[in-house]
């Protein structure tokens, strides 16, 4: 084309006009097929602006050239479009599923976006061992077994597993630990396991335990409880009072588990309850998970979108993206009808290979469930809006405190962690107006710094971080360049980091060091800014509390990364580097716990039970695995 292509920066700001983008789309329309498929609108720099699906690609793209019929947000999108990519699909349902995957991959700014970086936990009862294991599972379901869930949180799974151990007494240990046992572990002695590792239970009886646990998780808890009651009566009549008492205690726990469910609904089966609430141009979606009539918890979501997007469009986009990597239940109860509900139901049914029903209940118990979810969505959005306002105020106060011309959009905080210079790691966390930006956290294995040299470690981390930013994003378009850099340290650290930034030519990032005051007391922090005297804030100052939270989050992430690296190394090298642990004690620990990783996860009291390990030695071992600087 004869017209000069505008700069990427102007394209991003939407300063080029609708006519330019529309003319580019008309060029593509000359060869656009009429098949079903997915299209991507691209900016001049290759950024994906929008991902859409269509039953007829040519008809859909033609609509984007008709300015009067487009809402403002799509007019802005067309104005920035400089390229297109299309993928032809066999059906419209296939296009919908592909669209959801591409949206999650590229996070286009003009789509409704679901930012969900957490996988759901499940309860797994394995099928690849003669004595199945009961465990918590996340991620791909690659192991053969029965999966029950999803649960809304890891805590809910852990609590359920603890109670199930008391009722069904299945083993929770790993297969390797199981194979190495020569005598029953603590779980057997406190009646949380029947001891299959040491032949304390037959295969047939253990199989009955597994069958009862599966029946309970499938919603047949009443049947399980009745069978236990019959067994208790038989044991009592045969004067086996110890077994009768054990069954009585298990029945009590089973009863409490059923009573603990907040909102149960007999006959509901497997279902998700999803409600959308909108306020001030923002959306909150509350999801309740029901499996086998029982409430497995709830989770809130806050999809990002333009204020002009309708609630039906938001809900439809959410459903497509939410179930892109999750198996939907047969029934999904909704607070309103989403856009293209029939297409969504067909697409989800194809993916799940069983019928999926989307319905908006109008009365009775199901309507009350949706109303309850809607109330929770409204409350969650209210908290979110309040937090957002407070966050903006805090960022404004930070800007004033550090003499910045405007509130920071991205703050990066750096910290190091190591044990006397070994397994050294650097960590970076990021935060902005929406809170912590966990998807952009980074960890660095220290490669060059030698010994216990925090200055050299920080220098290496900053050189690697900003060298890569300069190489990959020299024009600062990605949103990954920080406005404010916080480092854990005082004047010396600040001076080192300032030198690194100057050598790299980075001059427009505000640098601040945060160090604890005398006696390293939290609340007496001092802030070091190049060219200024150190600052301190009053103890109850909200800005101080916010900066402490940022520093503590970086410290938490650094220590967690360090421990993970050290534990991984210990799994290879054993216990050689633990102070005071010779060959005899090492052998005793491995015989008792089965592996070095199990030693690393043991508590002080558990360690002290090992022959030859005193309470003092146990504390040394525990501190080695659970502390970092």
For each of the domains in the chain, give its residue range(s) and CATH number, in order of start.
8-106 (3.40.1440.10), 122-260 (no CATH), 272-383 (3.30.420.340), 411-564 (3.30.420.340), 574-626 (1.10.150.20)
Retrieve residue 310's tokens: 């309708």
Most confident of 1-15, 69-83, 294-308, 410-424: 69-83
Kindly indicate the confidence band of residue 297, based on its pLDDT and cuts at 50, 70 and 90: confident
Which class for 291: exposed (0-12), middle (13-18), buried (19 or more C-beta within 10 A)? buried
How high is the pLDDT of residue 493? 86
Kindly indicate the confidence band of residue 9, based on its pLDDT and cuts at 50, 70 and 90: very low
Kindly indicate the confidence band of residue 581, based on its pLDDT and cuts at 50, 70 and 90: confident
| Higher pLDDT pick, 598 / 326 | 326
Kindly indicate the confidence band of residue 604, based on its pLDDT and cuts at 50, 70 and 90: confident
How high is the pLDDT of residue 273? 94
Kindly indicate the confidence band of residue 280, based on its pLDDT and cuts at 50, 70 and 90: confident
SS (H, E, C) 298-352: EEEECCECCCCCCHHHHHHHHHHHHCCCCCCCCEEEECCCCCCHHHHHHHHHHHH
For the stretch 380-395, what's the b/e string if a residue is b when 16 or more beta carbons lie within 10 angstroms of its beta carbon? bbeebeeebeebeebb
- β-bridge partners, 428: 414, 442
Kindly indicate the confidence band of residue 625, based on its pLDDT and cuts at 50, 70 and 90: confident
Kindly indicate the confidence band of residue 260, based on its pLDDT and cuts at 50, 70 and 90: very low
How high is the pLDDT of residue 365? 86
How high is the pLDDT of residue 10? 44
Q: Does residue 451 register a pLDDT over 70? A: no
Q: How many CB atoms lie within 10 A of CB 234?
A: 13
Kindly indicate the confidence band of residue 36, based on its pLDDT and cuts at 50, 70 and 90: very high
- β-bridge partners, 300: 286
Coil, strand, or helix at residue 514? strand
Q: How far apart are CA 394 and CA 396, in angstroms?
A: 5
Mean pLDDT of 1-24: 58
Retrieve residue 275's tokens: 């409600």
Q: What is the mean pLDDT of the chain?
A: 83
Q: How far apart are CA 627 and CA 603, in angstroms?
A: 13
Kindly indicate the confidence band of residue 564, based on its pLDDT and cuts at 50, 70 and 90: confident
Q: How many CB atoms lie within 10 A of CB 265?
A: 18
Picking from 167-176, 220-229, 237-246, 617-626, which range would have the lowest pLDDT averaged per residue? 220-229
Q: Does residue 435 register a pLDDT over 90? A: no
Mean pLDDT of 17-39: 91
Kindly indicate the confidence band of residue 11, based on its pLDDT and cuts at 50, 70 and 90: very low
Mean pLDDT of 568-575: 54
Mean pLDDT of 123-147: 89
Most confident of 160-164, 371-375, 453-457, 536-540: 371-375
Kindly indicate the confidence band of residue 116, based on its pLDDT and cuts at 50, 70 and 90: low
How high is the pLDDT of residue 150? 83
Picking from 126-130, 311-315, 583-587, which range would have the lowest pLDDT averaged per residue? 583-587
Mean pLDDT of 266-277: 86
Supply the DSSP symbol for 169: -
Q: How far apart are CA 217 and CA 206, in angstroms?
A: 17
Mean pLDDT of 550-573: 73
Q: Does residue 159 register a pLDDT over 80? A: no
How high is the pLDDT of residue 5? 41
Mean pLDDT of 540-562: 84
| Higher pLDDT pick, 104 / 61 | 61
| Higher pLDDT pick, 517 / 31 | 31
Q: What is the pLDDT of residues 190-226, one digit of tens each?
A: 888 999 999 899 999 899 889 888 887 876 766 676 7
Mean pLDDT of 427-453: 82
Most confident of 22-26, 437-441, 581-585: 22-26
How high is the pLDDT of residue 8? 43
Kindly indicate the confidence band of residue 258, based on its pLDDT and cuts at 50, 70 and 90: low
Q: How many CB atoms lie within 10 A of CB 547?
A: 24
How high is the pLDDT of residue 541? 81
Q: Does residue 257 register a pLDDT over 60? A: no
How high is the pLDDT of residue 13? 45
Q: How far apart are CA 568 and CA 596, in angstroms?
A: 10
How high is the pLDDT of residue 549? 86
Q: Does residue 599 register a pLDDT over 70? A: yes
Q: Does residue 262 register a pLDDT over 50? A: no
């990002």: which residue's tokens? 304
Mean pLDDT of 10-29: 75
Supply the DSSP symbol for 81: -
What dihedral angle (degrees, nearest 10) is formed by the CA atoms of 515, 521, 524, 527?
Answer: 0
Q: What is the pLDDT of residues 331-353, one digit of tens each?
A: 999 999 999 999 999 999 998 88
């Amino acid at each position: 084309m004869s017209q000069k292509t505008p700069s990427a920066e102007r394209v991003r700001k939407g300063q080029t006009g609708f006519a330019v983008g529309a003319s580019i789309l008309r060029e593509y329309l000359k060869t656009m097929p009429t098949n079903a498929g997915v299209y991507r609108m691209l900016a001049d720099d290759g950024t994906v602006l929008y991902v859409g699906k269509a039953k007829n690609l040519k008809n859909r793209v033609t609509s984007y050239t008709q300015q009067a019929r487009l809402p403002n947000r799509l007019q802005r999108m067309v104005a920035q479009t400089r390229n297109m990519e299309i993928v032809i699909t066999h059906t419209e349902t296939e296009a919908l599923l592909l669209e959801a995957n591409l949206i999650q991959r590229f996070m286009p700014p003009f789509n409704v976006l679901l930012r969900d970086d957490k996988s759901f936990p499940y309860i797994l009862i394995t099928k690849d061992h003669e004595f199945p294991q009961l465990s918590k599972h996340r991620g791909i379901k690659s192991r053969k077994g029965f999966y029950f869930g999803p649960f809304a949180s890891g805590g809910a799974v852990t609590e359920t597993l603890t109670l199930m151990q008391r009722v069904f007494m299945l083993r929770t240990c790993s297969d390797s630990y199981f194979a190495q046992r020569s005598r029953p572990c603590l779980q057997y002695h406190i009646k949380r396991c029947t001891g299959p590792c040491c032949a304390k239970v037959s295969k047939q009886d253990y199989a009955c335990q597994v069958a009862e646990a599966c029946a309970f998780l499938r919603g047949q808890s009443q049947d399980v409880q009745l069978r236990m009651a019959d067994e208790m009566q038989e044991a009592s009549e045969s004067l086996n009072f110890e077994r009768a008492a054990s069954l009585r205690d298990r029945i009590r726990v089973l009863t409490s588990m059923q009573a603990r469910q907040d909102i149960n609904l007999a006959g509901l089966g497997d279902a998700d309850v999803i409600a959308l609430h909108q306020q001030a141009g923002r959306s909150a979606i509350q999801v309740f998970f029901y499996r086998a009539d029982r409430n497995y918890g709830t989770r809130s979501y806050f999809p990002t979108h333009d204020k002009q997007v309708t609630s039906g469009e938001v809900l439809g986009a959410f459903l497509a993206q939410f179930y892109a990597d999750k198996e939907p239940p047969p029934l999904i109860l909704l607070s309103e009808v989403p856009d293209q509900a029939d297409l969504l139901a067909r697409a989800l049914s194809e993916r799940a290979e069983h019928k999926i029903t989307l319905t908006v209940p109008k009365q009775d118990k199901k309507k009350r469930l949706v109303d309850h979810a809607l109330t929770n969505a409204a409350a969650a959005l209210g908290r979110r809006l309040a937090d957002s306002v407070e966050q903006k105020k805090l960022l404004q106060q930070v800007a004033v405190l550090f003499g910045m011309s405007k509130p920071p959009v991205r703050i990066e905080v750096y910290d190091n962690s190591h044990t006397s210079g070994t397994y050294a790691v650097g960590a970076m966390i990021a935060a902005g107006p929406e809170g912590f930006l966990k998807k952009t956290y980074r960890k660095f294995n220290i490669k060059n710094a030698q010994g216990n040299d925090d200055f050299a470690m920080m220098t290496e981390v900053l050189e690697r971080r900003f060298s890569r930013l300069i190489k990959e994003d020299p024009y600062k378009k990605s949103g990954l360049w920080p406005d404010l850099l916080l480092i854990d340290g005082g004047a010396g650290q600040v001076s080192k980091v300032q030198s690194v930034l100057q050598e790299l030519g980075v001059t427009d990032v505000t640098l601040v060091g945060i160090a604890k005051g005398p006696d390293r007391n939290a609340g007496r922090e001092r802030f070091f800014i190049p060219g200024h005297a150190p600052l301190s804030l009053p103890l109850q100052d909200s800005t101080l509390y916010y900066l402490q939270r940022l520093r503590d989050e970086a410290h938490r992430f650094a220590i967690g990364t360090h421990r993970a690296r050290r534990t991984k190394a210990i799994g290879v090298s054993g216990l050689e580097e633990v102070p005071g642990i010779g060959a005899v004690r090492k052998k005793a620990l491995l015989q008792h716990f089965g592996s070095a990783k199990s030693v690393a996860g043991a508590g002080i009291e558990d360690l002290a039970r090992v022959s030859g390990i005193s309470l003092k030695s146990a504390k040394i071992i525990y501190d080695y695995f659970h502390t970092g600087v």
